[in-house]
Chains A and B, each alone.
Chain A
Amino acid sequence: MISTSKLCKTYGRGATATHALKGIDLAVRPGEFVAIMGRSGSGKSTLLHLLGLLDKPSSGEIYLSGQNVASFSEKQRAEFRLKRLGYVFQEYSLVPELNLLENVSLPASFLGLQNSRQCRESAFELLSRVGLEQRAQHYPAEASGGEQQRAAIARALVNHPGILFADEPTASLDVASARTILELFRQLNRELEQTIVMVTHEPEDRKYVDRVVWLSDGRVEIDEEQTGLVSSTVLTGN
């Protein structure tokens, strides 16, 4: 599903160059829920940005669903992001002028495979799945941080992406909301076999994932399967 080979990313040039990633070799299987962890500056967000085609690597290869995407043009990358990838950002990622239903249906409308009624139905279904069916007509400013993140997850899933990327999705949330989001990810992973790659700095989060990739100084330091996962009881809407 995802594999990288000797993936490097360097910011700046010459004496001031910062080597954020120093030859990452990584493989994520379909249906896996992987957490990328590490200290601040370890390169975890940089890796997520490269895997998610938000940035270009300095060298190395990235294969997503069998395609070498490292040399994609900006247009190809945008197309690939729209059709094949889903994103959940840390915070404030919804369009404030659109209600939650419109936010979720936006990528589907843009993809244009369904008519607007079908897009709205799909969006509403996903909002129901994340427990926000009652909040569909509300605007982001009228929703809590946790609700906004759940809507962002629904938006990320609306085009049925092969991979869902989440960049510290619980960093701005209170403990209860963070737990809800992680359990929602777990549920999506278990029930839909959704491949999820999540960057987090919370050690507690490892109990929700299948595998933890620990980065240190731009290199993979630890890559281990997790045991003793929490159950995937549906807790959405709490």
Chain B
Amino acid sequence: MNKLKIAFSLAFKSIIKGNRWAALMIVVLMALSFANLILTPSIMSGVTKSLDTQQINTIFGNIIIAPQQGNTYLDNIDQIEQKLAQYPGVTGVAPHLADSALIEYQMAQSGMAASGSWSVTGIDPVKESSVTTISKSLIAGSYLSPTDTDAILLGVEIAGGLQAQNAPFLTLGGVQVGDTVRLTYSNGIQKEYVVKGVFQAKDVQADSQAFVTQDEMASVLGGASFASRASQILVRIDDDSRENQFIAAFKTLGIAGEVRSWRDYGSGVGGVVSSFNVVASLIGGIGLVVAGIVMFVVIYINAVHKKRQIGILRAIGIKNGTILISFVAQALLYATLGIILGGLVFGLGIQPYFAAHPIDLSIGSVSLAVSATTIRDAVIGILLAAVLAGIIPVVSITRQNIIKAIWGN
């Protein structure tokens, strides 16, 4: 106990009374290493979180009620919607009635025609607004009204034009609001619609959607019997992190349909997210190794600088273990101060900055997503690196002959 006290006392005095600039430099290096260990995974997490949010906001909502196996449609959707809407925490319920259609467009000026097959979804414009953000993503024209029958809303990847990411031959080549497009549905019915609005949700999958009103789609598919049917019902909840709880609860409501998470449908993005997580882990690992090496070099130089002092302490009978603990404690103190400083820099500087100035990527605005796991891993990583950086040089010096240590041979 006494020897531990001496070791910690030597470590503390060494920091307090030692070279303050050197100590400051070590702490700043550790702080930057720590901030870096959090920053990179946080950016990656921010990207994946942004991708997730995009999928939820623009395509799926949080939970999807799909027809049971073997069925194409959900029936009696009013009852289902009512059950879902009444559940505490549900903020929106929107039925989708979908079909595929060939969409054709003839350019007025050039006379050139463009066409392609896309999914077209019948929506209740009001209910849809409570689940997805399509209504807020218009770049031209206006949103659908519940009474619209000859109007269509096109995603920018269908409409085409300069803002589309897809190549022009994969789009309609630049449909403008007010233009007319002709749809041939899967049942052979053809209808012409005026393009009422073009939206861009910054997600290629979302922007490849086309919307008409639910009533219009019902009339195309078969009239009155389709008024109470839906291909799926999207549900939005107030807390994304509680999706599984809501799914479990919905399964007990006796709904005649499959209750699924949006993730079951967003598998393509899931792959991207997994890839990002792998990249984030790799970068984080490299960051930790770099931080460890930096700390090792700094502490090694510090220990080598005190080689003679270590030799003299050994000569007067101070045991190697006590000297070792002293240097490890010193390294841990530096690391702790670095973690505190790095945490302050990150929490009070970097994170608020990115919150106020998100990175504008094609997938949307990305700010930092810091998780407790990331912080925990960074803290453990820095402390472990400090322990190793403290142990290795001192062990090598304490194994040396005392005379050599004192005389610097």
Which residues of A are interface residues toward B (Cβ below 8 A)? 49, 52, 54-55, 74-75, 78-79, 81-83, 85, 87, 89, 92-93, 95-98, 102, 106-107, 109-112, 139, 155-156, 159
Contact = CB atoms under 8 A, between A and B. Distances in A.
Given A81-B315, A110-B317, A112-B2, 14 more contacts: A49-B403, A52-B315, A78-B317, A81-B316, A82-B317, A87-B315, A92-B308, A97-B10, A98-B10, A110-B3, A110-B319, A110-B322, A139-B17, A156-B316
5 contacts: A54-B403, A55-B401, A95-B312, A106-B6, A112-B2
Contacts of B2: 109-110, 112
Interface in B1-58: 2-3, 6, 10, 13-14, 16-18
Contact of B316 (A79, A92, A107): A107
Contacts of B308: 92
Contacts of B319: 75, 78, 110
Interface string B311-326: 0111111111010000
Contacts of A87: 315-316
A82 B316 contact: yes
Contacts of B313: 95
A96 B316 contact: no
Interface centre among B3, B16, B318 (most CB of A within 10 A): B318
Given A93-B312, A95-B309, A55 B17 contact: no
B293 interface: no
B402 interface: yes
Interface in B206-264: none
Contacts of B384: none
Contact of A89 (B14, B312, B401): B312
- Give me the 5 closest cross-chain CB pairs, A-B, nearest first: A82-B317, A97-B17, A81-B317, A97-B13, A112-B2
B280 interface: no
Interface centre among B314, B316, B406 (most CB of A within 10 A): B316
Contacts of A55: 401-403
Contacts of B10: 95, 97-98
A139 B32 CA distance: 33
Given A55-B401, A55-B402, A89-B406, A107 B317 contact: yes
Contacts of A75: 319
Contact of A106 (B315, B316, B401, B402): B316
B6 A97 contact: no
Contacts of B13: 95, 97-98, 102
B147 to A, nearest CB: 83
Contacts of A110: 2-3, 6, 317-319, 322
Contacts of A159: 317
Interface of B: 2-3, 6, 10, 13-14, 16-18, 308-309, 312-320, 322, 401-403, 406
A97 B14 contact: yes
Contacts of A79: 317
A77 to B, nearest CB: 9
A106 B318 contact: yes
A82 to B, nearest CB: 3
A81 B313 CA distance: 11
B204 to A, nearest CB: 62
A21 to B, nearest CB: 14
Contacts of B314: 78
A93 B318 CA distance: 14
Given A96-B17, A139-B17, A83 B317 contact: yes
A109 B6 CA distance: 8
A97 B2 CA distance: 19
B329 to A, nearest CB: 14
A96 B22 CA distance: 15
Contacts of B318: 78, 82, 106-107, 110
Contacts of A107: 316-318
Contacts of A82: 316-318
A18 B263 CA distance: 77
A232 to B, nearest CB: 26
Nearest to A165: B315
Nearest to A45: B403
Contacts of A106: 6, 316, 318
Contacts of B18: 96-97
Contacts of B16: 97
Nearest to A54: B402
Contacts of A85: 317
A112 B6 CA distance: 10
Contacts of A102: 13
Contacts of B406: 89
Nearest to A81: B317
Contacts of B3: 110, 112
Nearest to A93: B312
Contacts of A109: 2, 6
